Structure 1
């Protein structure tokens, strides 16, 4: 049974109809990627799921209707959203940013355990615990954004353009961590303009154009699809 199901979801964003009735599903334990050009509706899809954009249509998560729930409620249900551009708190330290990710956790020991788990993925964050987030490199800020999301121990991790603006070697590191998280059982919905990187690690993928799903399939099969190759892999 799918963990997340969108059925005929429509949404307006920035004065235009950004989603025109999309339907898609994410099964527990999968990496599912959503690819498409700028303005296709990828980010709006994630914002619709996390409650940042009002929608018409059905969004169910774990069998529960979550359409139009506010973000703090979707977060408590186990959905973590790492937005495009990272959106860390630049004037707060690495530690303070991570603690914000554990806002719903009361036990100090649990917070410490989760922080150590984040450091196991991103050792550099431990080295820079007292450094302000805004003074770090783009790659380190992306690590911090993902680490902050992991502090909530999500069941579904949604990543919006995690490779944007990063050096190739850092992109490789980020995608290795995404794969590792998935191998440990985390379900991941990945929005990524680097279609090649995304489809390499994805179980399945959806192609979105102007607010509509136009193609779906197994990740490896989409990589050899002529339409996908011409539009996104050339």
Structure 2
């Protein structure tokens, strides 16, 4: 059953046709990855889902509801958590305050604490840095906080935009292990990632996007083994 579906989505930045008839779907419990070169339309796809970009034509359905022109804050409240490229945590707020911002709509203090403990389970280092200001943390630590903040909202689907960008290889491994663990525990994930091999290794399915168009779709393993994908993205 598809939790998220984009049908014939066309989006523009001014006169630039950024998405050209995009059709993708994400089933409940899947990791789906979107790979492609810089400027291919990966981030724009996520922004279109979260409501930051309004498509000119086409439809975005989430849990069977049309959210195509829904404001971003309503989309977030409906169960879509978007961790943007570059992390974008609040640098002057402490780690605790950043996490609490993720649960801004939750009134139940017990639930907030339960979700925070869950974040600590995945990211023990975050617990050690609770009173530290976000802007003083390393890139890897900030990425952990950004994902943790998204989890605080209790999302039905987690969208990650380039979670490995600028991180040391050992931190990248840790982040991908946690993404995989989240999925094993039932989280549906839509992953945009420049590191195509890492992404396809954990993905159930993948889409290859090029200049705003979906060029290929297949299982993660099939795309890893595809000669065209190997030459373009895995070399």
Q: Hey, what's the Cα distance between the residues in 2 that align with 1:109 and 1:102?
A: 12
Deviation at 1:15, TM superposition (A): 4.4
Map of 2:7 onto structure 1: 7
Deviation at 1:76, TM superposition (A): 1.0
Map of 1:39 onto structure 2: 39
Map of 2:185 onto structure 1: 184
Map of 2:103 onto structure 1: 102
1:1-234 alignment runs, 5 A limit: 1-13=1-13, 15-55=15-55, 56-234=57-235
Deviation at 1:14, TM superposition (A): 5.7
Q: Hey, what's the Cα distance between the residues in 1 that align with 2:146 and 2:12?
A: 27
Q: Which runs of 4+ in 1 moved over 4 A?
A: none
Q: Hey, what's the Cα distance between the residues in 1 that align with 2:59 and 2:72?
A: 16
What secondary structure is seen at the aligned counterpart in 2 of 1:140?
helix
Deviation at 1:38, TM superposition (A): 0.2
Q: Hey, what's the Cα distance between the residues in 1 that align with 2:110 and 2:89?
A: 24
The 3 A distance-change label for structure 1 pair 68 and 184 is: same
The 3 A distance-change label for structure 1 pair 228 and 185 is: same
Q: Hey, what's the Cα distance between the residues in 2 that align with 1:228 and 1:31?
A: 19
Q: Hey, what's the Cα distance between the residues in 2 that align with 1:131 and 1:226?
A: 46
Q: Hey, what's the Cα distance between the residues in 2 that align with 1:141 and 1:70?
A: 26
What secondary structure is seen at the aligned counterpart in 2 of 1:124?
helix
Deviation per residue, 1:26-70 (Å, 9 max, x gap): 000000000000000000000000000011211101100010211
Q: Hey, what's the Cα distance between the residues in 2 that align with 1:91 and 1:18?
A: 34
What secondary structure is seen at the aligned counterpart in 1 of 2:53?
coil
Q: Hey, what's the Cα distance between the residues in 2 that align with 1:82 and 1:205?
A: 19
- The alignment's TM-score, normalised by the length of structure 1, stands at 0.99
Contact 1:18/1:211 (<8 A) preserved: yes
Q: Hey, what's the Cα distance between the residues in 1 that align with 2:224 and 2:165?
A: 20
CA-based RMSD: 0.7
Aligned length: 234
Deviation at 1:13, TM superposition (A): 2.4
Q: Give unpaired runs (5+ residues) of structure 1.
A: none
Q: Hey, what's the Cα distance between the residues in 1 that align with 2:116 and 2:222?
A: 37
What secondary structure is seen at the aligned counterpart in 2 of 1:10?
strand
Q: Hey, what's the Cα distance between the residues in 1 that align with 2:206 and 2:185?
A: 20
Deviation per residue, 1:127-180 (Å, 9 max, x gap): 110100000000000000000000001010000000000000000000000000
